Amino acid sequence: MDTYDLYRFTHADGSSKDWAVRQNANGTVTTRWGPTGPVLPQSKTRRGDKRNLVQAKLRKGYVPVGTVRIDKEGRVHAVDSTPATRSEPEQKPEDALYWRIRVGVSVPHAALADWAKAVSDAADRLAEVLGWARGERSDFEPGAIGNWRIPGTRTSGAGQIPITQSVVPLLVLMAMKRLAPEGTTMSVATEDGIEVGTDLRAEARLLAQFGTDLEGVRPLAEALGLIEPRINLSRAIQSDHDWWF
């Protein structure tokens, strides 16, 4: 049997899948994967760096489980999850948001292309508010959320966002959901399965989990089209227009 590091991804419905990896002495990396259970049936060995593969999985929302022994048939044996530290409450997996996108086969390609452009334009406006150059917006680019590609193809996807991450990915997901074309199902749910809508005013409790509130995210939300911009009355009064109230 060989020793692997085991990682787990938990879906919004409570089901999960596992991924195990080991660096071999000859420079190759072996991975095994499958639904969480006593056997990981799928296996692949290739040349590569274990660290790069692990980082890619962590970005998709996988969390470390511990060290396992796996035999040639894929049977998972003893698990060492370092209970001395994992039993501490503060060491439990952090709360997360879970998202899923399903693109129907009947959705026209043109509608997906329009969706891609609308989301990209919104991300540009958001980057401008944040003072970021275009190349610095990778943290909230739709393609970086669970490695799900920006709309424009029929790729569906799912993933999770830790609550400890900034509020920006949440706002981007809400904007993507609001802009999604008919025939595309986009779900964003909390740890306890409560669906997140597109009305930011109704998500005060969720914003509080990110350590902010509506006023704290107002400039970002306005840039993404989640709320209407406020009218600057002082600027309006100084204009040449007539205003009636």
Give the per-residue pLDDT at 21: 94
Give the per-residue pLDDT at 133: 59
Give the per-residue pLDDT at 45: 92
Residue found under tokens 């990209």: 120
Give the per-residue pLDDT at 170: 85
Give the per-residue pLDDT at 39: 92
CA distances (Å), origin 91, targets 27, 82, 83, 86, 94: 33, 11, 10, 5, 8
Domain boundaries, the chain: 2-91, 96-224
**What does residue 189 show for φ and ψ, rounded to 5 degrees?**
-130, 155
Helix H, strand E, coil C: the string for the chain is CEEEEEEEEECCCCCEEEEEEEECCCCEEEEEEEECCCECCEEEEEECCHHHHHHHHHHHCCEEEEEEEECCCCEEEEEECCHHHHCCHHHCCCCEEEEEEEECCCCCHHHHHHHHHHHHHHHHHHHHHHCCCHHHHHHCCHHHCCCCCCCCCCCCEEEEEECCCCCHHHHHHHHHHHHCCCCEEEEEECCCCCECCCCHHHCHHHHHHCCCCHHHHHHHHHHHCCCCCCCCHHHHHCCCCCCCC
- What is d(CA 188, CA 11) in angstroms, rounded to the nearest whole number? 12
CA distances (Å), origin 172, targets 96, 211, 243: 15, 17, 34
pTM of the predicted protein model: 0.55
- What is d(CA 10, CA 149) in angstroms, rounded to the nearest whole number? 20
Asked if 79 and 57 touch (Cβ cutoff 8 Å), the reply is: no
Give the per-residue pLDDT at 22: 93
Residue found under tokens 């998972």: 76
Give the per-residue pLDDT at 230: 75
Task: For residue 165, count CB atoms less than 10 angstroms from its CB and return exposed for 0-12, middle for 13-18, buried for 19 or more.
Answer: middle
- What is d(CA 17, CA 10) in angstroms, rounded to the nearest whole number? 7
Residue found under tokens 């048939």: 73
Asked if 21 and 29 touch (Cβ cutoff 8 Å), the reply is: yes
Give the per-residue pLDDT at 139: 46
Give the per-residue pLDDT at 239: 54
Give the per-residue pLDDT at 25: 82
Q: What is the CA radius of gyration of the chain?
A: 22
Tokens of 244: 């009636």
Residue type, 150: I
Regions of the chain short of the pLDDT cut 70? 78-94, 132-157, 165, 231-245
